Chains A and B, each alone.
Chain A
C-alpha cells in the first residue's frame, strides 16, 4: 500500500514523524480519513482522537487538543497546542485533572470560568479515553 509522510508537531517537540498508510483526523465537523496522495488540504481540527497506522488493523492513537492539519506533496503535518501519544499519557494525572474540573464545575461559583473548566474536563476525559483504548 502507498504511504504518506505523517508528522505531528507542537511548539516544544515533534511528537511523531513516520510513514503511514492512513490517518484519521478529528475535523471540527467530524472525523475524516487521509490516504496517500491526497490532494492539498488544510483543515481545522477539534479536540479529539487522532489515529494513524494501516488502513485495516491496529492503529496508534494521539490525544489532540485541537489544531491544524496541512497535506501537501504527500506529506501531512499536524500542528497542535498539545498532542500526546496514547502510551505517553499519564493516566493518574488525567484522573486528577478530571476530578478537579468536575469539582470546580459542581461548585458553580460566580467568579468561576465555566468555559475553561469544561475544556479542562474534556481534555482530561479525552486523555483517559485514548489511554484506555490503547
Chain B
C-alpha cells in the first residue's frame, strides 16, 4: 500500500527521535562501563590474594592433621542459598532474562533453596510467581557499591553460620569483554576444593598463626565471602552496562536502517506525486487545445 508522503514523513521524524534517545543511552552506558571495567580489574588482585592466603591456611590445617573449624567444613547438606545478581532496569537485551532463566533452572534442581535477590527485575519476576526471598536489595544503582556488597555478605554468612542452609552459590554474569558476558554459577560455601590448590611453587613456608590457625580461618572465611560477593557484583554491573550498550547500539542501528528505507519510499511517493501533477497539467492543456 502506498502511504501518503505526509504519513511517511511523520514516521521518519518519530523514528529519528527514538534514535536520538537510544544513541544517548548507548553513550551513557559506554561511559559508565569504562569506570565499571576498571573496578572489575582493580578488585581482582584482592580476591586472588585472599583466596591464596586461605588456601595456605587450609593446607596447613590438613598437613597438621587437624580438624577444620566449623566455617570451613563441608556439612554435606542439600539446602542451598542462591544469591542472584541482576539489574534494576531493563533495556539491556537478554541480560536479566538470562539470569532469571538460570535461577529457575537452579530452583528446579535444588528445591530446598533460599534466595537472596539483587535487582528489581529478578525480585519482580519471582514475586509474581509467589517465590519468597530471604533478602532483597533493589535500587542499588549502576555502580557496584562496596557497602552493599558487605551487607549482602554479612547477611549470607550470618544465615550460613546459623545453619539456615549448607551451600551458598552466587548467580551472576561474568564480564569477559564489552560484547561477551556469560551467566555463571559460582559456589562460595562450603569452600570449593580449588582454593586449596592455589599457588604451590617451591616448598611451603612454615607459618605462625596468631592467635591460632582456627581463629585465622574464622577471620578469613567471612572476608572471603564478602570479597566473592563484591567481585561478582562488580562483574554483574559491568556486564549489565555492556549489555545495555550493545542493546542500545542495535536499536540505534535498526532505527538508521528504518529511516533509510522510509526515506526511499518517501522520495518515491513524492516523485509519483510530481509525475501525477505534471500528467494532469499536460492532460488539461491538451483538453484546452483540442
Contacts and interface: CB of A to CB of B under 8 A. Distances in A.
Q: Do A and B bind each other?
A: yes
Interface of A: 9-13, 27-29, 32, 39-45, 66-68, 70, 72, 77, 79, 81
A79 B45 CA distance: 11
Contacts of A39: 206, 208
Contacts of B211: 27-29, 43-44
B46 interface: yes
A79 B50 CA distance: 8
A45 B226 CA distance: 16
B105 to A, nearest CB: 30
Interface string B30-57: 0000000000001101110110010011
A36 to B, nearest CB: 16
B197 interface: no
**Which secondary structure dominates where chain A touches chain B?**
strand
Contact of A79 (B208, B209, B213, B223): B223
Contacts of B150: 81
12 contacts: A9-B45, A11-B46, A11-B227, A11-B230, A28-B211, A28-B215, A28-B219, A40-B205, A41-B209, A42-B208, A68-B216, A79-B49
B206 A40 contact: yes
A70 B226 contact: no
Interface in B198-212: 205-211
B223 A41 contact: no
B208 A41 contact: yes
Contacts of B45: 9
Q: Top 4 nearest A-B pairs by Cβ distance?
A: A43-B210, A44-B219, A40-B205, A40-B207
Given A11-B230, A39-B208, 9 more contacts: A11-B43, A27-B211, A40-B205, A42-B53, A43-B209, A44-B210, A44-B218, A70-B53, A72-B205
Contacts of B56: 42
Contacts of A72: 205
Contacts, number: 75
B216 A44 contact: yes
B230 A68 contact: no
Nearest to A32: B210
Nearest to A80: B223
B220 interface: yes
Nearest to B39: A12
A81 B209 contact: no
Contact of A67 (B215, B223, B230): B223
A124 to B, nearest CB: 15
A103 to B, nearest CB: 21
B153 to A, nearest CB: 9
B180 to A, nearest CB: 24
A42 B227 contact: no
B212 to A, nearest CB: 9
B262 interface: no
B223 A42 contact: no
A79 B57 CA distance: 15
Contacts of B15: none
Contacts of A67: 219, 223
Nearest to B212: A44
B205 A27 contact: no
A45 B50 CA distance: 15
Contacts of A11: 43, 46-47, 146, 149, 226-227, 230
